Amino acid sequence: HPRGPGAAALAAARNLWVPPRLRCRPGWQGTTGRLLVRSVTGASNQLQSSNNGRYRDTVLLPQTSFPMKLLGQQQPDTELEIQQKCGFSELYSWQRERKAKTEFCLHDGPPYANGDPHVGHALNKILKDIANRYHMMRGSKIHYVPGWDCHGLPIEIKVLSELGGKAQNLSAVEIREKARSFAEAAIKKQRSAFIRWGIMADWSNCYYTFDRKYEAKQLRVFYQMYEKGLIYRSYKPVFWSPSSRTALAEAELEYNPEHVSRAIYVKFPLMKPSPQLVSLIDGSSPISVLIWTTQPWTIPANQAVCYMPDAKYAVVKCSKSGDLYILAADKVTAVASALETTFEVISTFSGVDLETGTCAHPLTPHKASPLLPANHVTMTKGTGLVHTAPAHGMEDYSVASQHNLPTDCLVDGDGVFTDVAGPELQNKSVLEEGTDVVIKMLQASKHLLKEEKLVHSYPYDWRTKKPVVIRASKQWFVNITDIKATAKELLKKVKFIPGSALNAMVETMDRRPYWCISRQRVWGVPIPVFHHKTKDEFLINSQTTEHIIKLVEQHGSDVWWTLPPEQLLPEEVLSQVGGPDALEYAPGQDILDIWFDSGTSWSCVLPGTDQRADLYLEGKDQLGGWFQSSLLTSVAARKKAPFKTVVVHGFTLGEKGEKMSKSLGNVIDPDVVINGGQDPNKEPPFGADVLRWWVAESNVFTEVTISPSVLNAARDDISKLRNTLRFLLGNIAGFNPETDSVPVNDMYVIDQYMLHLLQDLANKITDAYKQYDFGKVVRLLRAFYTRELSSFYFSIIKDRLYCENADDPKRRSCQTALAETLDVVVRSVAPILPHLAEEVFQHIPYAKEPKSVFRTGWNR
């Protein structure tokens, strides 16, 4: 019944499958058939009261102590009682100790230890728990160790902001102490919430990235990669946050689509045209190449202008000024319109004809900027000619490396111009006053053609919510290029759900030329390198690293700041670098990127020699974050992917698909969902199972919406399921499957048909769980208990259940089907609604010793 039985089907079923009416049992003498039917199917209150319960005693009505509803605070209170009574806290250790042929390892991507638990946590943790409980019920031994990401900029910034002016006087060790305390407090809150949600895990052995043994293993992976030449130090442009004063990785950025830039059109006078170009232009008329940029502050650092070699370019005459310009032929109309003029095309030529030409720097006329071919030039925006500042762009730097251009950076760590930029720009913020001054300088030199405001997507620091810049500096990098090919090959053997996530992950990896892993902060794991005090040299080898690893393993990474430098070096190395009194090296001041922290968790947490998880399950943002950092470190260290299956879920959004924020008033607190808010009428207590049903029924492979109406719908679904389960419990009272079951071949056809539907349901649900499609599980269950059971089967069997003798084979046939139905429905829903499943299990009348449903296996 894909859409459930209709009225005609119900009528036919009654005619074919309802047993003939039996003669009245004692006590029914003299009653009319009409009265009998009404008493069986549920007489009106008026009829019951008028006959003083006379007919109630003549039928076998359902009997169960399982409550129809849990009102108000009863729901969360009952869940807590069930957690206690059914041993939720002991379940993980019980299943670890039992004998099992298979082990299922779900590796927990560590949430960040810097805030209260939110619905994003709920979505992720509950999805993992559903997967774990399903596999456990199928007989696997579960390995699930929860973890927390404890270091990093967000925590350090939060601590410093809370300290205010006092922060300036704190030492690195004091900042680290306060950051640790802050992280520990957040972990305590989150851990308590996760347990309340019914998450089964190894809560006594959680992993923390600030744990000294974890830090030591992380440093071991770092050195393995360094020894293979996969980690190196270099001067390169990286995303830099002036507000945090540190380098950032791509995963630490968020893009603001409403950012406003001051875009400008600038002319670079042609100093020396290429020989091919000379024949196309009138040498007596000045000619300039046109560029467009959204970052005017980078013009002082210009070293070249790039073109697309195989594109067509044009020499045009401006009707407004009479000047000659060079730009891409495809951009002539658009640029003329932007400059509010018209262009007359004088001649066209191929981009390759620009080769060997040079133009004058617009702010330093005597300085030549060569015209160079480049693959990154596009015709999407601008003029088809790209201003190139190697210190402030990844592609620009690549061009500079190929052509030996200078890569000097004119911007310091605070995002202000250095003295090298000149007195007019020195100490001015590049994103604010510095931009204004550069534009005025271009106006004064008569090289600025137009300024316009441009609203576009621009990278911001994920924590300070302020714009970043690209700035060249000396950093530590992972050489992704040498790992990428192997990583892609290994990904082909990994199952991705949904399948499209594989391409998305490969694309994010391809966009990443290198991975900057150094940060200029103190709350993190130190990069175990010593720098020469007077020369640009550094010291790291197996002896120094092994010595530091042992110190960290014993005392934690604080030793980098608490011990004197001579104690951080082994004696055999110390004697070679000046000894304790004339030490030539000092400990480096960089710490490791937190993505390197969490990305090496496979080496610290995963069991066995293989150290591969059966499942990684995280949000889609981790395709460029934890999934990628885990893969890259694992491939680099041992040429192996750390996961066999990757499941990717979407983000939680408001009811209309908008991002959750306090300003919009659409933030939903999981604690309020479970325990209710200040006004129970507006925010009633739903309990954890409603939260879990919401998670399961969501299409997790896309964005997931949550709102009061969504939660109310989830509560209504569970209420209907609860009534169905109550009917099943009530009508198997006095039934013992061991002695009263009817063989399938002797059962009524309708009962056999019910078992057929049940088997079909069980198979489909198992397949859905295998594919981690929990939304399908919910849809299958909901259709089954609302259509096949409540609307169809229950309405047909009530005569037999209520009117036959207790042990009549007709009634027992029906009860056999009901008992099987109860068993399958409860087990099928248990991974999603563990509290309800356990509550039902405690009310099964024939259970000798009601155990936990989770200790009795999956659907047979």
Segments in 42-87 forming alpha helices (H): 45-50, 74-85
Domain enclosing residue 299, as ranges: 250-470
Residue 475 lies in a domain: no
Question: From the CB of residue 827, how many other CB atoms can be counted at a distance below 10 Å?
Answer: 22
- Cα–Cα distance between 481 and 744 in angstroms, integer? 64
- Please check the confidence at residue 26 and state whether its pLDDT lies above 50: no
* CB-count burial class (<10 Å; 0-12, 13-18, 19+) for 21: exposed
Question: From the CB of residue 511, how many other CB atoms can be counted at a distance below 10 Å?
Answer: 10
What pLDDT is stored for residue 19 in this prediction?
Answer: 43
Judgement on whether residues 758 and 799 belong to the same structural domain of the protein? yes
What percent of the chain clears pLDDT 90, i.e. is strictly above it? 75
Please tell me the least confidently modeled range out of 177-186, 334-343, 664-673, 722-731: 664-673
φ and ψ at residue 760, rounded to 5 degrees:
-60, -45
The residue among 59, 78, 103 that closes a domain is: 59
Arithmetic mean of pLDDT over the chain: 89
- Cα–Cα distance between 168 and 180 in angstroms, integer? 18
- Cα–Cα distance between 92 and 95 in angstroms, integer? 5
What pLDDT is stored for residue 2 in this prediction?
Answer: 42
Q: Averaged over 190-203, what is the pLDDT?
A: 97
Any idea what the CATH number is for the domain that residue 347 is in?
A: 3.90.740.10
Residues with Cβ within 8 Å of 604's Cβ and at least 6 positions away in sequence, in order, are 207, 213, 214, 217, 218
Tokens found for residue 367: 């300085």
- Please check the confidence at residue 770 and state whether its pLDDT lies above 90: yes
Please tell me the least confidently modeled range out of 390-399, 573-582, 813-822: 573-582
What pLDDT is stored for residue 154 in this prediction?
Answer: 86
- Please check the confidence at residue 12 and state whether its pLDDT lies above 80: no
Judgement on whether residues 323 and 361 belong to the same structural domain of the protein? yes
| 616-644 confidence digits (pLDDT tens) | 999 999 999 999 999 999 999 999 999 99
- Cα–Cα distance between 240 and 470 in angstroms, integer? 6
Give 229-245 as a 3 state SS string.
CCEEEEEEEEEEECCCC
Residue 571 lies in a domain: no
Segments in 477-541 forming alpha helices (H): 481-491, 500-510
Residue 653: band (very low, low, confident or very high) from pLDDT cuts 50, 70, 90:
confident
Q: Averaged over 784-798, what is the pLDDT?
A: 93
Query: Dihedral through CA 469, CA 472, CA 477, CA 481, nearest 10?
Result: 90
- Please check the confidence at residue 524 and state whether its pLDDT lies above 80: yes
What total of structural domains would you count in the chain? 3
Residue 662: band (very low, low, confident or very high) from pLDDT cuts 50, 70, 90:
low
Residue 647: band (very low, low, confident or very high) from pLDDT cuts 50, 70, 90:
very high
Residue 734 lies in a domain: yes
Q: Are 613 and 105 in contact (CB under 8 A)?
A: yes
Tokens found for residue 44: 């009106």
- Please check the confidence at residue 682 and state whether its pLDDT lies above 80: yes
Judgement on whether residues 52 and 67 belong to the same structural domain of the protein? no
| 706-762 confidence digits (pLDDT tens) | 989 999 999 999 999 999 999 999 999 999 999 999 999 999 999 999 999 999 999
- Cα–Cα distance between 525 and 594 in angstroms, integer? 9
Residue 822 lies in a domain: yes
What pLDDT is stored for residue 21 in this prediction?
Answer: 38
Question: Coil, helix or strand for 569?
Answer: coil
What pLDDT is stored for residue 89 in this prediction?
Answer: 95
Judgement on whether residues 369 and 355 belong to the same structural domain of the protein? yes
Residue 450 lies in a domain: yes
Judgement on whether residues 36 and 77 belong to the same structural domain of the protein? no
Please tell me the least confidently modeled range out of 421-425, 489-493, 605-609: 605-609
Residue 80 lies in a domain: yes
Question: Coil, helix or strand for 71?
Answer: coil
Q: Averaged over 401-413, what is the pLDDT?
A: 93
Judgement on whether residues 456 and 411 belong to the same structural domain of the protein? yes
Residue 20: band (very low, low, confident or very high) from pLDDT cuts 50, 70, 90:
very low
What pLDDT is stored for residue 54 in this prediction?
Answer: 64
Question: From the CB of residue 3, how many other CB atoms can be counted at a distance below 10 Å?
Answer: 7
The residue whose two tokens read 């200029």 is 520
The residue among 449, 470, 491 that closes a domain is: 470
Q: E-assigned strands of 695-742?
A: 704-705
Residue 489: band (very low, low, confident or very high) from pLDDT cuts 50, 70, 90:
very high
Residue 374: band (very low, low, confident or very high) from pLDDT cuts 50, 70, 90:
very high
Judgement on whether residues 774 and 812 belong to the same structural domain of the protein? yes
The residue whose two tokens read 């009428």 is 681
pTM of the entire structure? 0.85
Residue 37: band (very low, low, confident or very high) from pLDDT cuts 50, 70, 90:
very low
- Cα–Cα distance between 274 and 267 in angstroms, integer? 18
Residue 261 lies in a domain: yes
Residue 365: band (very low, low, confident or very high) from pLDDT cuts 50, 70, 90:
confident
What pLDDT is stored for residue 183 in this prediction?
Answer: 96
- Please check the confidence at residue 43 and state whether its pLDDT lies above 50: no
Residue 487 lies in a domain: no
Residue 279: band (very low, low, confident or very high) from pLDDT cuts 50, 70, 90:
confident
Judgement on whether residues 266 and 289 belong to the same structural domain of the protein? yes
Judgement on whether residues 66 and 51 belong to the same structural domain of the protein? no
| 102-142 confidence digits (pLDDT tens) | 999 999 999 999 989 999 999 999 999 999 999 999 999 99
Residues with Cβ within 8 Å of 234's Cβ and at least 6 positions away in sequence, in order, are 474, 475, 477
| 507-518 confidence digits (pLDDT tens) | 999 988 789 999
Judgement on whether residues 411 and 431 belong to the same structural domain of the protein? yes
- Cα–Cα distance between 46 and 37 in angstroms, integer? 16
Q: Are 549 and 217 in contact (CB under 8 A)?
A: no
- Please check the confidence at residue 34 and state whether its pLDDT lies above 50: no
Judgement on whether residues 797 and 807 belong to the same structural domain of the protein? yes
What percent of the chain clears pLDDT 70, i.e. is strictly above it? 93
State yes or no: cis peptide before 300, omega within 30 of 0: no
- Please check the confidence at residue 601 and state whether its pLDDT lies above 70: yes
The residue among 470, 485, 513 that closes a domain is: 470
Judgement on whether residues 73 and 47 belong to the same structural domain of the protein? no
